[in-house]
Amino acid sequence: MSINKDFPLLKNERLLKAARGEKVDKLPVWIMRQAGRYLPEFREYRKQHDFFEICNNPEYACEVTLMPIRRYELDAAIIFSDILVIPQALGLDVEMRPGVGPVLPEPLTLETLSNLNTKGTVKKLEYVGQAINLTRHKLEGNVPLFGFTGAPWTLMGYMIEGGGSKTYSKAKKWLYAHPQKSHELLEILTQVIIDYLVMQIEYGAQIVQVFDSNAEYLNKNLYSIFCLPYLKKISLEVRKKLREKKLEEVPMVLFAKGGWYCLEEQAELGYEVLGVDWTVEPKYVRNILKNKNITIQGNLDPCALYSSKSDLNSQVEKMLNEFGSDRYIVNLGHGIYPDAPIDSLKTVVDVVHSFEV
């Protein structure tokens, strides 16, 4: 499959500028899970197509990626896919069950670790690259396009638990009882993630985000042993491989949800942008990261979208004032919920774009 690299000129560089620490005309805003079930047009589309059918088909994935861009003046698109396509490509079955979420009927065990298909894994994910390539063209340069991946620990969690979990105690058991096997798995995932991100960038992703959604179940000690080294390897190796392939570097975002306990350490991993959730105060974040040349992304509580319009207005304004307009990308502190009122998102975007930088 060839890659069409004759890309349209990017007309809105706000988000990439903020990521690189350059001056912006207005604050950039995008929303995690912006292409999702809160959109009536997405729910309609899902009646016709299975979740992974959309992920697998570049034209479907492109169509769904564009839905929020048509409706709102967002400053970035994020390719429609899922973090669990990596476990799938490694040979695990993943089902998306309505009302339940992702289910892996046969979770990974110590015994099946050696059965993972580690050869040609990224080749199997090329359909994501094709979706990115098509979408980058269809966006006509209106906004930049995010690629993304799950972080090693977050993927490990889903693979061992067989889906989401309240405690991630089965996956954490590996960390305490089987540290060697844990490192073996994390290393396998890290290698796939590096090549997966490089592939996405080669196909046209203009910025990439690493989702470590399960950071909140660990602590500084565990995160230092089982996450930080792999996250650093990812940023360093991706950049090295881009240079070797003579591809342009793109900004990298790390979103370690609930990972405030090691924010300072995250700043040393080589990511331009760090995402933070709503449980951490803007002033705390700015203080820890001052003089670190890091852009902050976040952190409105997704539930704030249930507020009245005037309350939502003041909450967003308060957040913008507290973070300040230097090196800041506006987002929620986690993905938008399926029952979020669709007008609330317009309110957020309007407040952000009328904020004087």
Q: Cα–Cα distances in Å, from 235 out to 164, 178, 190, 230, 251?
A: 26, 26, 10, 9, 10
Q: Pick the binder of ligand CP3 from 51, 60, 127, 306 (CB under 6 A).
A: 51
Q: Pick the binder of ligand CP3 from 32, 67, 86, 171 (CB under 6 A).
A: 32
Beta carbon nearer to ligand CP3, 210 or 263? 210
**CA–CA distance, 203 with 5 (Å, rounded to integer):** 8
Q: Pick the binder of ligand CP3 from 37, 124, 138, 286 (CB under 6 A).
A: 37
CB 262 within 8 A of CB 221: no
Active site residue 158: yes
Beta carbon nearer to ligand CP3, 98 or 120? 98
List Cβ neighbours of 36 (8 Å cut-off, separation of 6 or more).
42, 335, 336, 338
Beta carbon nearer to ligand CP3, 27 or 215? 215
End-to-end CA distance of the chain: 43
**CA–CA distance, 218 with 216 (Å, rounded to integer):** 6
CB 329 within 8 A of CB 28: yes
**CA–CA distance, 197 with 211 (Å, rounded to integer):** 12
Taking CB under 6 A as the rule, does residue 278 contact ligand CP3?
no
Beta carbon nearer to ligand CP3, 78 or 345? 78
CB 353 within 8 A of CB 26: yes
Q: Which two tokens stand for residue 193?
A: 């993630």
Active site residue 82: yes
Taking CB under 6 A as the rule, does residue 230 contact ligand CP3?
no
CA 251 to chain centre: 13
Which of 14, 38, 72, 82 is the catalytic position?
82
To the nearest whole angstrom, how small is the minimum distance from the Cβ of residue 38 to ligand CP3? Answer: 9
- Residue among 72, 64, 69 at smallest CA distance from 46: 64
Taking CB under 6 A as the rule, does residue 102 contact ligand CP3?
yes
Binders in 292-351 for ligand CP3, by CB under 6 A:
335
Q: Per-residue contact track with ligand CP3, 122 to 161, x per CB under 6 A? A: --------------------------x-------------
Count of positions on this chain that bind ligand CP3 (CB under 6 A): 22
Active site residue 33: yes
**CA–CA distance, 147 with 137 (Å, rounded to integer):** 14
Beta carbon nearer to ligand CP3, 80 or 223? 80
To the nearest whole angstrom, how small is the minimum distance from the Cβ of residue 299 to ligand CP3? Answer: 14
CA 102 to chain centre: 17
Q: Which residues pair with 110 in a beta bridge?
A: none
Q: Pick the binder of ligand CP3 from 17, 20, 26, 33 (CB under 6 A).
A: 33
**CA–CA distance, 298 with 309 (Å, rounded to integer):** 20
The one-letter code for the residue type at 33 is R
List Cβ neighbours of 309 (8 Å cut-off, separation of 6 or more).
343, 344, 347
To the nearest whole angstrom, how small is the minimum distance from the Cβ of residue 327 to ligand CP3? Answer: 22
Stretch that binds ligand CP3, among 80-88, 267-275, 297-305, 307-315 (CB under 6 A): 80-88
CB 160 within 8 A of CB 107: yes
Q: Pick the binder of ligand CP3 from 40, 101, 105, 179 (CB under 6 A).
A: 101
- Residue among 136, 176, 188 at smallest CA distance from 6: 136
To the nearest whole angstrom, how small is the minimum distance from the Cβ of residue 127 to ligand CP3? Answer: 15
Binders in 161-220 for ligand CP3, by CB under 6 A:
164, 211, 213
Beta carbon nearer to ligand CP3, 163 or 282? 163
**CA–CA distance, 252 with 122 (Å, rounded to integer):** 19
Which residues are catalytic, by number? 33, 37, 46, 82, 158
| Residue numbers at the binding site for ligand CP3 (CB under 6 A) | 32-37, 46, 51, 78, 80, 82-84, 96, 98, 101-102, 148, 164, 211, 213, 335
